C-alpha cells in the first residue's frame, strides 16, 4: 500500500492515524512473519505503548475500541508462529547436517533469530498491555511458558533428559 492510498483511506474514515496504522499492522501480521523486519516489530511495540498511554490518560473513546487490533487473536497468532519457527529451526539444522551451503544456512538462521526476537518482544508487549484475563487464558491455552522453557531457554537440557543422557546430581 502506498502512502497516497493510506492518506486517502484515512480521509475517508473517522479513525485517527494511530488507530488506522495499528489496525494495518495487526491485519498484516501473517505477512510480517514470512519476511521479518525489525522495524515492523519496533513500530508495533511503540504504537501499543502509545495506545495504552492514551487510554490511561483518558484519550478519545475510539482508541479503546478493540477494532484497532485484537490482542487475543494477535497473541494466539504470535504463539503459533513461535511454535512454527521452532519447526523451521529443526529443518534448518537437518539441512546443515546434509551439507547445504553454509552461508545460506547462516543467513536463514540469522533471519529466524530476528523473527524470534521480534515475536518474543511483541508477545511481552501484548501480555503487559492486554487485559490480564485475556493474556492469562491465551498463555495457558497455547502452553507458552512450557514452550519458552522447553524449546528455547533450556532446550539442550530437555533434549538430554528425553534421550536419557543426564545424570542425577
Q: Which pLDDT value is given to residue 3?
A: 56
Other Cβ atoms within 10 Å of 5 Cβ, number: 9
The sign of the dihedral angle between the CA atoms of 81, 82, 83, 86 is positive
Query: What is the block-wise mean pLDDT of the chain (169 residues), using blocks of 10 residues?
Result: 61 67 80 76 86 75 54 84 74 63 79 84 86 82 75 73 66
Q: Which pLDDT value is given to residue 99?
A: 60
Instruction: Enter the C-alpha cell of residue 48.
Output: 501499543
Q: What is the DSSP letter of 63?
A: G
Q: Is residue 169 part of a domain?
A: no
- For residue 92, the number of C-alpha atoms closer than 13 Å in the C-beta half-sphere is 18
Domain total in the chain: 1
pTM listed for this prediction: 0.67
Q: Is residue 168 part of a domain?
A: no
Strand runs (DSSP E) across the chain, as ranges? none
What is the span of the domain harbouring residue 106?
3-163
Q: Which pLDDT value is given to residue 63?
A: 42
Q: Which pLDDT value is given to residue 100?
A: 65
Q: Could you give the 3-state DSSP secondary structure of residue 164?
A: coil
Q: Is residue 27 part of a domain?
A: yes
Angstrom distances, CA of residue 85 to CA of 3, 114, 117, 147: 32, 11, 11, 12
Nearest 5°: phi and psi at 111?
-65, -40
Amino acid at each position: 500500500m502506498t502512502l497516497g492510498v493510506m492518506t486517502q483511506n484515512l480521509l475517508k474514515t473517522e479513525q485517527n492515524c494511530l488507530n488506522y496504522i495499528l489496525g494495518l499492522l495487526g491485519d498484516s501480521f501473517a505477512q510480517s512473519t514470512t519476511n521479518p523486519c525489525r522495524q515492523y516489530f519496533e513500530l508495533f511495540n511503540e504504537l501499543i505503548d502509545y495506545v495504552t498511554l492514551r487510554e490511561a490518560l483518558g484519550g478519545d473513546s475510539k482508541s479503546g475500541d478493540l477494532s484497532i487490533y485484537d490482542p487475543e487473536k494477535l497473541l494466539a497468532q504470535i504463539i503459533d508462529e513461535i511454535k512454527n519457527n521452532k519447526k523451521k529451526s529443526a529443518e534448518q539444522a537437518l539441512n546443515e547436517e546434509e551439507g547445504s551451503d553454509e552461508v545460506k544456512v547462516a543467513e536463514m538462521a540469522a533471519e529466524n533469530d530476528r523473527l524470534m526476537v521480534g515475536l518474543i518482544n511483541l508477545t511481552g508487549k501484548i501480555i503487559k498491555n492486554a487485559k490480564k484475563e485475556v493474556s492469562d487464558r491465551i498463555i495457558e491455552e497455547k502452553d507458552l511458558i512450557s514452550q519458552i522453557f522447553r524449546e528455547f531457554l533450556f532446550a539442550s537440557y530437555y533434549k538430554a533428559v528425553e534421550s536419557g543422557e543426564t545424570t542425577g546430581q
